[in-house]
Structure 1
Amino acid sequence: MGLRKKVAMATKKQLISIKGISEVKAEKMLKAAREMVNVGFTTAADVLESRKDLITLSTGSNAVDELLKGIETGSITELFGEFRTGKTQLCHQLCVTCQLPVDRGGGEGKALFIDTEGTFRPQRLQAIAERYGLDGDSVLDNVAFARAYNSEHQMQLLVQASAMMAESRYALVVVDSATALFRTDYSGRGELAARQQELAKYDSLLALEGLRLKKGRGENRVMKVVDSPILPESEAIYSITEQGIQDELN
């Protein structure tokens, strides 16, 4: 629903700027998205009631889940931080937990994974699935994967993801990493303005909640909320194990 809403709020000009989307196709996409998503006025009481039905996904760590109240579906969460802090690990973790029943911290849905840096590892999903008593092969079947090779291709895949979510129950979309290909495609100093323009198009489809990840002691890592409309700026400690993200190791 999050991506459908972003499409519904986009302008026709923004959609046409994406390679492969004609004016006619953009009009059809906008019409379909706006029919599925209410983009007009509503009451604050209705907003409160709708948020009661929001599904949140477990990260695998009780401490992090307590910090975030889970990863909220229907919105976009940005992970950033230094190398080896667990950003990609958490993405893999969520691809599994999103398939769990709601009462176990899942979304009872599939996952979409757009990989821009070649970091996707299906065997990692199988190891995490074992922790939750899930069949590894079934978990893999419920993850739709695509490798993006340039920034234009990445934008096309994001639009395809929106269409797929309209046809089946997907609880999660992962883009790892969201900005790497833009940095590569527009690497020269003279292309900085063009890169910022393309990133602005991409960002127009996204609403971000920012989480900074950093290294702690040993295998422990620290997650800090740095940008959120509802969460206070605070931290939680977690660890990276063979079976995914878990609470901190003593």
Structure 2
Amino acid sequence: MKEDQVVAEEPGFQDEEESLFQDIDLLQKHGINVADIKKLKSVGICTIKGIQMTTRRALCNVKGLSEAKVDKIKEAANKLIEPGFLTAFEYSEKRKMVFHITTGSQEFDKLLGGGIESMAITEAFGEFRTGKTQLSHTLCGEHQMELLDYVAAKFHEEAGIFKLLIIDSIMALFRVDFSGRGELAERQQKLAQMLSRLQKISE
């Protein structure tokens, strides 16, 4: 093979991508009709993992999906993706993939156990003008610098390791839709659901 030929992506990396983003159309092979798949897509569920991340109650709220259909869809999705159970050894190996992003302050990094941890949710809270947004901006800059250093050294070896998502602010969105103490319980339930979805995405 000539040196200037483009090297194909490693099969292992392709398999990982395919397993992570399996198209919802694969449900047809397990007896789910096209009409029901379109209903799922209409509410933003387009992958097999998306089905697993959505509760049965939420799926039953989709117009045209009965409890029987939801159970069938869930069962079909479980057949298409690996079970979520991990042995202690497998979980230990998964934890080795965790890395930390520096905050720009060595002392702050020490308090956080090395910096902002990947594959996890880090919440910054406090009063107005205490530095929450500034911290987010700093992390974006530090993240990009680490990304550039990494890409310069190992661009073709391992892609997609550095991933950072900042939501500023998650509570502001819920305060707009839910106001007053009367809606506090419902707001907290929705917030918990959102944090649960973010946690699953980070994994």
- Please give the secondary structure, in 2, of the residue aligned with 1:187: coil
Match of 1:48 among 77, 86, 92: 92
How many residues align? The count is 135
Q: Residue 47 and residue 196 in structure 1: after superposition, are their counterparts in 2 closer, same or farther (change >3 A)?
A: closer
Match of 1:189 among 177, 181, 184: 181
- Please give the secondary structure, in 2, of the residue aligned with 1:176: coil
Could you say which residue in structure 2 is the equivalent of 1:97? 142
Match of 1:87 among 126, 132, 139: 132
C-alpha displacement of 1:55: 1.9
> 1:51-95 CA distances to partner (integer Å, 9 max, x unpaired)?
122121111111112222121111111111122221111111111
TM value normalised by structure 2: 0.51
Match of 1:64 among 91, 95, 108: 108
Q: Could you list the runs of 5+ residues in structure 2 that have no partner in the other structure?
A: 1-19, 21-46, 152-159
Q: What aligned pairs does 1:94-243 form with structure 2 within 5 A after superposition?
A: 94-101=139-146, 171-207=163-199
Contact in 2 for aligned 1:14/1:201 (Cα 8 Å) = no
AA aligned opposite 1:196: Q
Return the alpha-carbon distance in structure 2 between the equivalents of residues 189 and 60 of structure 1.
39
> As a proportion of its length, which structure holds more helix?
2
C-alpha displacement of 1:205: 1.9
Could you say which residue in structure 2 is the equivalent of 1:225? none
Matched, 1:73 2:80: no
TM value normalised by structure 1: 0.43
Q: Could you list the runs of 5+ residues in structure 1 that have no partner in the other structure?
A: 109-167, 208-250
> As a proportion of its length, which structure holds more strand?
1
Identity fraction in percent: 45
Q: Residue 48 and residue 169 in structure 1: after superposition, are their counterparts in 2 closer, same or farther (change >3 A)?
A: closer
Which one has more relative contact order, counting CA pairs under 8 Å at least 6 apart? 1
C-alpha displacement of 1:44: 1.2
- Please give the secondary structure, in 2, of the residue aligned with 1:171: coil
Contact in 2 for aligned 1:88/1:176 (Cα 8 Å) = yes
Contact in 2 for aligned 1:182/1:199 (Cα 8 Å) = yes
AA aligned opposite 2:120: S
> 1:98-148 CA distances to partner (integer Å, 9 max, x unpaired)?
2233696x8x6xxxxxxxxxxxxxxxxxxxxxxxxxxxxxxxxxxxxxxxx
Q: CA RMSD in A?
A: 3.9
Contact in 2 for aligned 1:9/1:39 (Cα 8 Å) = no
